[in-house]
Every structure is written in structure tokens, then in C-alpha cells.
Amino acid sequence: MIEIRLSDDAFSHDIAPLTRAFFPHEEVKCVTVPYAEPTAVPDSIKERENLPRFIVLTADTGDKLIKIWLSDERGRVVRGERVPTVTRPETDNDRDEAFLAWKRQYKNELKQVLYGILCDYTGRELPWGSLTGIRPVKLALDEIEAGASEESVRAFYKEEYLCSDEKTDLTLRIAKKEADLLSRIDYKNGYSIYIGIPFCPSTCLYCSFTSYPIGTYRKHVDEYLAALFKEIDFIAAAMAGKRLSTVYIGGGTPTALDEDHLLRLLDYINNTLPMDEAFEFTVESGRPDSITPGKLSVMKKMGVTRMSINPQTMSDKTLRFIGRLHTAEQTVKAFHEAREAGMDDINMDLIIGLPGESADDTRHTLSEIEKLNPDDLTVHSLAIKRAARLKLHLDEIEDVMPTDTMEMQRLTYEYAISHGYEPYYLYRQKNITENLENTGYARPGKEGIYNILMMEEKHTVVGLGAGSSCKFVFKDGKRIERTENVKFVMDYIGRIDEMIDRKKQFLDEFGEEL
């Protein structure tokens, strides 16, 4: 366990992920304590049964000096310090531009010092440098849209965040692609809708999404859809006058619904929302074992333009281990059936870093994907999420966790580029393997616009259904507010009026600013 002791916890949400990136299998805990410079680990701490493997102490002393010490259980101390380049303003107001500018700069300098210490201590560097957070491309996209040169953006990533040339180049490549795609639509005056269907055939080992087994909850599907339709009705009226840009149905696994329920859902969306305005209508089918010719026919008839068929891996052994009930053969069958149904924009998700896999497994998966020739390919690096079963059993399977995930990622990148796919969006997750990233690749014209709008926070995304979240982006593009729906299916059904009222109150107060 790593204990991070902070004299000021204002930056704990940035310091903890950066530390965790160097020690991905360690528990990391932040505590706030009075500042004291260590010279060695005190005997009193050594005598504790649960001694932290490392102790990181930081002194946040305003604009005078940043001081950090890393002290391990052997008493070794590594030091770093730096005089900040910006002076702290008098105000602590989070809406004040001067304060926010200072906070961003001070945070980055604090992380630079910590990053240098952790590099020295571990003998490792991270591909993303000191950059934390899930949207590394957003900074570059904002700068490009504001007219910044490619050279200045490149320098910013290298000097401010110590990013590698490889990741800086990838960031710029994606940011330019996103800027080009977004320039073709009036996204600033629009909004998107996410509809959550929280049912799955089974729960995967790595999953932490809102998901419940369809076999157990099948008798509640009618009640769930009735509640969801009420929420759709409200949003259709409340957002009248704004352009609906994209609709994305996710989960869970939306195609866990039977054919009749799927038809009811898609038909209701088409009859209630202004779908003729939407650029894109996506159903994340996900699990191949949930896809049937009848459901594919319904999707095509109801105007679905994009879908996902997600193998994650083409190794049956791994699929069984992670709790997916389908086989690689079923993935191939579902894909061919989708093509036969006329679906001409199919995404496939892969996960690198799954337990028991190696670079050879990645090569095998890519060779099987090559035969199918999907239109989009999204490559995820395994993230060990707190709410997933994988986190609970990590100690038991640590010896089969891959050690060559960087090689796996290199293979997927080279495969995508050599087969005519272009990276078009990228995001990261907490506790992601090797501090890597998830990258979406697409053939020209097949990019998922919802993915960009959602990830780069370019306009409001209204979340409907259990476990979903509304992300309201204000007109200035700088302020973002959220409203949440409850996660549990029965709570959502019973409290749907409360979920609608949360949105209504927010829109009544801030609607003119969106």
C-alpha cells in the first residue's frame, strides 16, 4: 500500500493517479496531515503491522516553494523541490479566471516535481509523462480550434506535461482529425442523447458499468421501458428548439432486450425525438450472444446507422475466464449476419491486457478481425476498476496479468494504420494498464461523432435511463454541470418522477445559458 501524505489535499485527485501509474497494482491512499520533513521512516511506523510500502509527502506552500519527499520502508529518501513560476492570487474563488489559471499552472508544476522523483525512484518513464485525466486530446483540440499552431501545441505537451514524442504526435493527429470532423456540423447549438439499457447476458470480470443480468430482470423490462419513455417524453419537450445531433443507446447491452422490446424502444425514439435532424443513431450491441437476425432487421428498419459487435478478444479461453458467454465463432457469425442485414458501419471493441493473454494472443485476435474487416475498431487498455470483480480477485490472478501490454498496443496501432483506419478519438481511464489509453480508429467517413462530442465535452449530452448522467455544457464552453440518475433498476422505475424533476429544476435555472 502507498500512503500519500498531503499538507493540502487540493491536488490529491491529480497526485494519486500519477503515483498509481507508476505502481498500478498497489493500493494508493491520500491523507491530509500537518507538514513535517522526513529524514527516515520513524521506528514507530516500522513497528506497525500494515506498513505502507512507500510514503509520499508533499508540502504545498503557496507561491514560495514546492517540496516533495518520497520515503520508503528502508528509510531511503528521494527529494525534489521547485519554485513555482506563478504567484497565487488573493482569491480562492473557483470562478475567478486568475485563480483558475494559477491553480492549473501550480498543479502542473507540482506534478512535474513528483513525476521526476517517481522516475528516479522506479527507473521508469511514462508515455504520457505527468499528464493525468481521461481527456488528453481535449487540451490540443481546444488550442487548435482557438487558432494555435501545431508547433505551439506540441511544445505545450512536451514542456508542460513531459509527454513522449509518440503520444504527442498521436494527440495532435487525433485533435486535427476531430477539429476537421466537428467543423462540418453545428455542434455548439445542438445536444446529444445517451439512453442506458442496464441489462446484460452476464457480467464480465472487468466490468463496472450499470449492468444487471437480463435473466433475473426480464419480468421488469416493461416497467423499465415505461419509465424510460416518460423520461424521453420530458426531454423531447424540454429540448425543443435545439438540434439533436446524435443518439447513442448503450448499457449494459441494449440487444439483451428481446426483439419485441427492442422494436418498442427504437420505434418510440423515432416517434418522439426529432430523429430526422440527427447525424448518427448508434446501438451498442456489444455482446455477440445477444444478436439475432430478427434484432438486426429491427435495427435496420428503425434507422440505426451504427452498431458495435464487441469480441474483446478472439480467444475462447480468455472469453470463458472473463465471464463472457459467447465464443469467437459466435462473434464471426453475428458480424456476417449484421452485414447481411445491411449494417454498413460496424465497430468492434478489443481489450488489450486481459488476464492470461500475451502479444501472441493479440496477433491472433487481429488476424481474425482482419477477416471480418469492420468499419471501426476501438482498442481499450484494460482498466482495473474499483467496482469490478477483477479488482476483488486481483491478488489471486496477478501472476497471469500480462507484462507486455505496451507491445500489444503497438501491434494494434500498427494494424489499424496499415489497414486504412485513422485514429479519431482517444480517452483514458483510472487505473488503466501501463498508464496507456483507449483509441478509436475508423475508416474515412465512419467515425463515431457521438464519441468525439462526449469525450471532448463539446456540447450537452442528456443521459436517460438507470445509471446515466446528464453533462450540461454551457455556451461559454468552460462550465460543465451534471445531474445523475440512480443506478439500480428498481430505484429508477420507482423514482422516475424524481429523475425527471432533477433535470427540470436544472433546466429551469440554467436553460438560457446552455
Which of 298-312, 319-333, 388-402, 425-439 is predicted with the least confidence, judged by mean pLDDT? 388-402
The strand pair at 438-442 and 376-381 is best described as antiparallel
Check residue 167 and give its pLDDT: 95
The pLDDT tens digits of the residues spanning 73-118 come to: 666 677 788 888 888 888 888 778 888 888 888 889 889 999 998 9
Check residue 54 and give its pLDDT: 66
- Burial (Cβ within 10 Å: 0-12, 13-18, ≥19) of residue 327: middle
Q: Is 40 helix (H, G, I), strand (E, B) or coil?
A: coil
Percentage, residues of the chain above pLDDT 70: 87
3-class SS string, 331-391: HHHHHHHHHHCCCCCEEEEEEECCCCCCHHHHHHHHHHHHHHCCCEEEEEECECCCCCHHH
pLDDT of residue 121 exceeding 80: yes
Of the candidates 434, 511, 493, 424, the one whose C-alpha atom is nearest the C-alpha of residue 235 is 511
Mean local confidence (pLDDT), 244-252:
95
Residue in this structure with the C-alpha cell 445559458, named with its chain if needed: 513
Mean pLDDT of the chain: 87
Alpha-carbon distance values, 323 to 56, 320, 335 (Å):
37, 5, 21
The pLDDT tens digits of the residues spanning 2-21 come to: 888 777 777 888 888 888 88
The strand pair at 346-352 and 306-309 is best described as parallel
Which of 169-178, 378-387, 434-443 is predicted with the least confidence, judged by mean pLDDT? 378-387
Measured in degrees and rounded to the nearest 5, phi and psi for residue 285 equal -65, -40
Angle at 50 between CA 45 and CA 54, to 5 degrees: 65
**CA 472 – CA 463 distance, rounded (Å):** 10
Check residue 39 and give its pLDDT: 47
Of the candidates 107, 85, 105, 103, the one whose C-alpha atom is nearest the C-alpha of residue 93 is 103
Of the candidates 450, 426, 445, 483, the one whose C-alpha atom is nearest the C-alpha of residue 248 is 450
Residue in this structure with the C-alpha cell 472469453, named with its chain if needed: 319
298 vs 385, residue with greater confidence: 298
Check residue 58 and give its pLDDT: 62
Of the candidates 164, 167, 139, 135, the one whose C-alpha atom is nearest the C-alpha of residue 152 is 139
The pLDDT tens digits of the residues spanning 24-50 come to: 777 888 888 766 555 444 444 444 444
Q: Is 205 helix (H, G, I), strand (E, B) or coil?
A: coil
The pLDDT tens digits of the residues spanning 156-214 come to: 999 999 999 999 999 999 999 999 999 988 888 899 999 999 998 876 655 555 678 89
Check residue 398 and give its pLDDT: 62
Which of 232-241, 393-402, 418-427 is predicted with the least confidence, judged by mean pLDDT? 393-402
291 vs 103, residue with greater confidence: 291
Evaluate the omega torsion of the peptide bond into residue 252 and state whether it is cis, within 30 degrees of 0.
Answer: yes
Percentage, residues of the chain above pLDDT 90: 59
Q: Which residues pair with 377 in a beta bridge?
A: 348, 441
211 in Cβ contact with 254 (< 8 Å):
no
Beta carbons within 8 Å of 97's beta carbon, 6+ residues apart: none
Q: Which three cell numbers stand for residue 112?
A: 512535474
Give whichever of 97-106, 211-220, 358-367 has the largest mean pLDDT. Answer: 358-367
Check residue 367 and give its pLDDT: 98
Mean local confidence (pLDDT), 234-246:
95
Give the model's confidence band at 59: pLDDT under 50 very low, under 70 low, under 90 confident, else very high: low
DSSP structure class, residue 451: H
Beta carbons within 8 Å of 18's beta carbon, 6+ residues apart: 111, 114, 115, 118, 130, 132
Check residue 487 and give its pLDDT: 93
CA dihedral 459, 437, 435, 467 (to 10 degrees): 50
Residue in this structure with the C-alpha cell 505551439, named with its chain if needed: 152
Mean local confidence (pLDDT), 383-396:
51
**CA 147 – CA 65 distance, rounded (Å):** 34
User: Is the pTM value of this prediction over 0.85?
Assistant: yes
Check residue 13 and give its pLDDT: 86
Measured in degrees and rounded to the nearest 5, phi and psi for residue 180 equal -65, -45
Of the candidates 42, 109, 114, 45, the one whose C-alpha atom is nearest the C-alpha of residue 79 is 114
**CA 74 – CA 95 distance, rounded (Å):** 44
468 in Cβ contact with 485 (< 8 Å):
yes
Beta carbons within 8 Å of 8's beta carbon, 6+ residues apart: 32, 58, 60
Check residue 491 and give its pLDDT: 97
269 in Cβ contact with 213 (< 8 Å):
no
Of the candidates 273, 269, 272, 235, the one whose C-alpha atom is nearest the C-alpha of residue 254 is 269
User: What's the order of all strands across the beta sheet hosting 190-197?
Assistant: 422-427, 438-442, 376-381, 346-352, 306-309, 280-286, 243-251, 190-197, 460-464, 469-473, 480-484
Q: How far apart are the first and last CA of the chain?
A: 44
Alpha-carbon distance values, 218 to 207, 249, 280 (Å):
20, 19, 29
